[in-house]
Amino acid sequence: MPPAETPDILLIRQTRPDVGGRLAERFRLHRLEEAPDRAAFLDAVGPRIRGLAVGAMSPIDAALFDRLPRLEIVASFGVGYDTIDAAEAHRRGIVVTHTPDVLSDEVADLAIGLLLATLRRIPQADRYLRAGRWHGGSFPLTTSLRERRVGILGLGRIGRAIARRLEGFDVTIAYHGRTPQADVPYAYHDSLLGLARAVDTLIVAAPGGPGTNGIVDAAVLAALGREGIVVNIARGSVIDEAALVDALRSGAIHGAGLDVFASEPHVPQALIDLDQTVLLPHVGSGSHYTRAAMGRLLTDNLFSWFDGKGPVTPVPETPWTGRR
């Protein structure tokens, strides 16, 4: 049993069993999901909680902060943290951490796989064979990655990893983000619409949140053209899903490969019914190797913090100043 001075940590939404196990060895761990009455549970333990361990996509806001008056740090499992009110955390002196870098390669790999699967209709060809239809004739010809112009929305860690992989396919690469980056060879467009007009393939790698909500809209999709392809491995909220359905149905674009959706795990039936979509259940970082690395980084952030060394990977909104 942890000694009396051991910090109390609240685990919100189980990530991996080894995460909970590692935390329980060091801290007094409380598991919100095991509480039959969450409100009563928070009333009982909330005043003692000094750290949060948060599963991906768990909403963390001012109302929860109010119930945790001693909270010092929120350690999130994932690179995206748009469900955490980091600005409010900063106002209250609470540090927020995430797990960047350790998942960039895995997500970038999946982005390329999803792009190829969408262009070459790999899942559709698999179903064609399994249904015995090959006996009746060859699978129809598909579009190609050859001579494509690829735009990346968001050239952060994951966006750069995607771009590096695309270089091996000898395609034209361009990008749009908040600011141009001097250390990359790719063409920069100062608007998303301008990028869409210059390319025929758009890979979404931008963070979620109010600033990017629905920015891939009908105008952007139309600008890609009838051979346009959209791949999203970022957040479902970045794409206007109704506009995407309309563009696919009308033939305004050619296809879409999506690993994320606006209201997960609910996926619009219209997207499921369309034959020119490849849909995945948010598995971008979903390998044993990468999820284990994410779990280690989450716990490392909490260990480092309570060892007095500060956070390992704080988010930009809550920069670490070296003072507690």
Rounded CA-CA distance 273/304 in Å is 48
The answer to whether 227 is a known catalytic residue is no
Q: Which of these is catalytic: 98, 235, 254, 291?
A: 235
Q: Are 243 and 220 in contact (CB under 8 A)?
A: no
Report the sign of the C-alpha dihedral through residues 39, 41, 42, 43, in that order. Answer: positive
Contacts of 299 (CB under 8 A, 6+ apart): 19, 22, 23, 53, 75
Q: Which two tokens stand for residue 317?
A: 């909104």
Q: Which of these is catalytic: 13, 67, 282, 296?
A: 282
How far are the Cα atoms of 16, 108, 261, 293, 301 from residue 77, in angstroms, in the given order?
A: 10, 18, 19, 10, 11
The answer to whether 266 is a known catalytic residue is no
The answer to whether 264 is a known catalytic residue is yes
Catalytic annotation, residues: 235, 264, 282
